[in-house]
Amino acid sequence: MTSLSVLDLATVASGSTPAQALRDTTEMAAWAEQLGYQRFWVAEHHAMAAVASSAPAVLIAHLASATSSIRLGSGGVMLPNHAPLVIAEQFATLEALHPGRIDLGLGRAPGTDHVTARALRRDADLQATSFPHDVVELIEYLIPHEVPAHPAPTPGAGYLPEIWLLGSSTYSAQLAAQLGLPFSFAYHFAPALLDEAVALYQENFRPSQFLDAPHLMVAASVICAPDEHEARWLAGSSALNLVQRAQGRPGPLPSPDEAAAYEMTPAEATFVAEALSSHVIGAPASVTRQLRALVARTGAQELMISTRVHSLDARRASLTLLATTWTASEARPAPGGRPDTGPSDVLSATTPQRHDLAGSGAARDHSGD
């Protein structure tokens, strides 16, 4: 059974503001929870006019207070931008406040341009060469030890969120396999290396104190609408945004009307068609078939859905249509003719099975979350 989750970028739409984008993200988290999605993640991006999620830990704390059961996390925190101790403290605090609900997805990309990355990191290492060491260091702060380590964050040991490695290439796939961590591949913006990264992760996975077997998530860009025409209309926003960024004039996410009014050159049209070729866009039945094919191709236990459309109503509608159709396709009659799972169970049934981190009274087993 493959669970569905949501990746939200706190999208700043044309005519809107970052404050409104954050309010919309808060509404979307509550809506996703109501629909039964398993996780709601926000991503770290900097100096991007269309994305307001520059401080994931702060935003996650706010979202956790506005929801009650959905798992919340980062998709992801760009670890090279931060000291591992700082991220350990932030997410241990979140785990202490909202036990069993926090995910920490870690990436090694800057999440911005080189000038901003240098301002964030204050050093010359823009290649993230210390990323493997930093991941291990962060985890070590949060695993109980017989002899207390120094420095020892508080909250710290025993307050371990569910840690994921994120990637758009084979690098993090191999690292996740070596460390025995769950892995999420960014198919939504880097589809070319999907098969190679998945194979490397699954074939080289080493059981760990966290997982006995590989646990794979694939992130996909999805726009689901009542019919194909409307879905393609809504996708015009992302198409024009891609062109604007390629031209060096990024801005808020355009409206479908703005996109329809823009006349693309043949070269721009070809560029957009290639960029959107892996996006899942269409009516509910078509979207579900395409996502089923992606699951069959990869063996993914989870799908992370990213929906970038201009209006909050269209985002809500897309998630609702997908949830309803996915639930119908997953449900199977149980003995006696009754479904063996409800809608929420179908969408959120898959969670990495983890070992209990024994050795501290504060340690918790998240396998039942």
pLDDT of 364 > 50? The answer is no
Would the CA dihedral through 114, 116, 119, 120 be positive or negative? negative
Question: What is the model's pLDDT at position 121?
Answer: 62
Number of compact structural domains in the chain: 1
At residue 146 the predicted structure's pLDDT band, cuts being 50, 70 and 90, is: confident
Q: How many CA atoms lie within 13 A of 57 on its CB side?
A: 18
The answer to whether position 209 is within a domain reads: yes
CATH number at residue 127: 3.20.20.30
Is the full-model pTM beyond 0.85?
yes
- Closest-CA residue to 76 (of 99, 48, 53): 53
Q: Helices 18-35 and 56-66 meet at what angle, rounded to 10? A: 50
Question: What is the model's pLDDT at position 350?
Answer: 59
The tens digit of pLDDT for each residue in 108-129 reads 876 566 777 677 665 655 556 8
The answer to whether position 184 is within a domain reads: yes
The answer to whether position 215 is within a domain reads: yes
The answer to whether position 364 is within a domain reads: no
| Domain limits for position 78 | 3-329
The tens digit of pLDDT for each residue in 60-87 reads 999 999 999 999 999 999 999 999 999 9
The answer to whether position 347 is within a domain reads: no
The answer to whether position 111 is within a domain reads: yes
Question: What is the model's pLDDT at position 111?
Answer: 55
Question: What is the model's pLDDT at position 348?
Answer: 63
Question: What is the model's pLDDT at position 224?
Answer: 98
Residues in the chain: 369
DSSP assignment, residue 339? B
pLDDT of 256 > 70? The answer is yes
The fraction of the chain above a pLDDT of 70, given in percent, is 85
> Considering the chain, what is the average pLDDT of its residues?
88
The answer to whether position 244 is within a domain reads: yes
Among 139-153, 317-331, 338-352, the range scoring the smallest mean pLDDT is 338-352
The answer to whether position 361 is within a domain reads: no
CB 39, CB 73: distance < 8 Å: yes
Quote the distance between the C-alpha of residue 100 and its chain's center: 18
